[in-house]
Amino acid sequence: MTDLNHTSMKSVAIIGSGPAGYTAAIYAARAGLDVTLYEGMQPGGQLTTTTSVENYPGYPNGVLGPQMMEDFRNQAQNMGADIQSATITGVNFSASPFQLMVNNTTQVTAQIVIIATGASAKWLGHPAEQRLQGKGVSACATCDGFFFREQEVVVVGGGDTAAEEACYLANLCSKIHLLVRSGKMRASHAMQQRVLQQEKITTHFHTEIEDILGEDAVTGVKVFNKQTQTSQTLPVEGVFIAIGHQPNTSLFTPYLDIDAQGYIQTVPGSTRTNIPGVFAAGDVQDSVYRQAVTAAGTGCMAALEAERFLSNSLLA
Ligand code: NDP
């Protein structure tokens, strides 16, 4: 990391601004710690790309994802957290206090770092996919499946995520087309069996999306079968991309233990990483649940563990 002329010391630096980061900020600031949260390039995180959130407790009529994140942010700020519209572009965890580079220009140090950078859903990269995100194209059946009740939808992917999403949607939708690009699914045997047992799911092997149709809403999907070299249009209103998630860990890989899927490894039942004083919360360390409420829960855990860590450091 380059030398810079401005360095300021923080007690707790939180990297990331989804439910995990903001909740960590609420708890840590309320405990009287000096908290700075760096929002990153997508303030509010993945929830800002979704519409109504109906499964977060406390909102009986649901809430728009961006609104919920604004509520979290305001609450963190009201508790005294310093929220910076800035991105951490580099870290040095080789010694404590830890060094963080802000926007490639300013260096800060922190006694505690809570990483809450989340995971990003992988997308196919079709232009129509981006245009129709939130208008029929989604990467989260648990979040958005409800809007497609009794409708026909497509799920793309052949792994456990796609199998789970397809089975979840089978309880809501009238028909699910599961598009698998190769001749076999990568999902576990048990999940493949569940897919097979669902009458509403039709699996199309060797099949990829050619185009997603519709201007302001999805009206169909044109698919191409590589084996038969034929195209057809499926009359669907929803498209769920389930080809995996990429945890946002690239900054931390030189220092932290990362699992085979790229998630930060934490000590089971805690948010502690392999570096004392560095904690990880939310989707960046969770490949299983990936829900706003579980992310918020681990954000709370990280703040409590950080508080204890600081108290023990003072006593030492
Ligand atoms: P995976 O990497 O396991 O699977 C991704 C799937 O998407 C593969 O079928 C892959 O095809 C397909 N794919 C990738 N890119 C494209 C593309 N551009 N176009 C079309 N298809 C594409 O990701 P998952 O998210 O499913 O799972 C990640 C990990 O999390 C796994 O270890 C899984 O077991 C675990 N998991 C566990 C769950 C559970 O235990 N309940 C639930 C969900 C996930 P191909 O095979 O051809 O590469």
The domain that contains 75 carries what CATH number? Answer: 3.50.50.60
CA distances from 228 to 10, 148, 184, 225 (A): 61, 30, 16, 6
Q: Output the DSSP codes for 211-234.
A: EEE-SSS--EEEEEETTTTEEEEE
Is residue 102 located within the same domain as residue 250? yes
**How does residue 2 score in pLDDT terms, banded at 50, 70 and 90?**
very low
CB 202 within 8 A of CB 176: yes
Domain of residue 305 covers 11-120+245-315
Q: Which pTM was predicted?
A: 0.76
The three-class DSSP label of residue 239 is strand
pLDDT, residue 51, reads 65
Is residue 46 located within the same domain as residue 110? yes
Q: Which residue has the tokens 């392999």?
A: 274
Is residue 311 located within the same domain as residue 300? yes
Which among 241, 260, 293 is the end of a domain? 241
**How does residue 111 score in pLDDT terms, banded at 50, 70 and 90?**
very high
Residue 221 lies in a domain: yes
Is residue 113 located within the same domain as residue 143? no
156 lines ligand 1 (CB under 6 A): yes
Q: Which atom of ligand 1 is nearest to the CA of 287?
A: 30
pLDDT, residue 55, reads 85
Q: Which atom of ligand 1 is nearest to the CA of 245?
A: 25
For residue 60, give both structure tokens: 């009986």
Q: Which of 287, 289, 291 should be mutated for ligand 1, with most atoms under 8 A from CB? A: 287
CA distances from 147 to 52, 135, 214, 222, 247 (A): 9, 10, 17, 22, 27
Mean pLDDT of the chain: 93
pLDDT, residue 226, reads 97
Compute, in degrees rounded to 10, the torsion defined by CA atoms 155, 158, 160, 166: 30
Residue 304 lies in a domain: yes
pLDDT in tens, 8-27: 666 999 999 999 999 999 99
Is residue 151 located within the same domain as residue 286? no
Is residue 279 located within the same domain as residue 217? no
The three-class DSSP label of residue 210 is strand
**Residue 1 pLDDT exceeds 60:** no
pLDDT in tens, 150-190: 999 999 999 988 998 999 999 999 999 999 999 999 999 99
Number of structural domains found in the chain: 2
Residue 6 lies in a domain: no
Separation of alpha carbons 58 and 77, rounded Å: 20
Is residue 219 located within the same domain as residue 194? yes
Separation of alpha carbons 179 and 233, rounded Å: 13
111 lines ligand 1 (CB under 6 A): no
129 lines ligand 1 (CB under 6 A): no
**How does residue 32 score in pLDDT terms, banded at 50, 70 and 90?**
very high
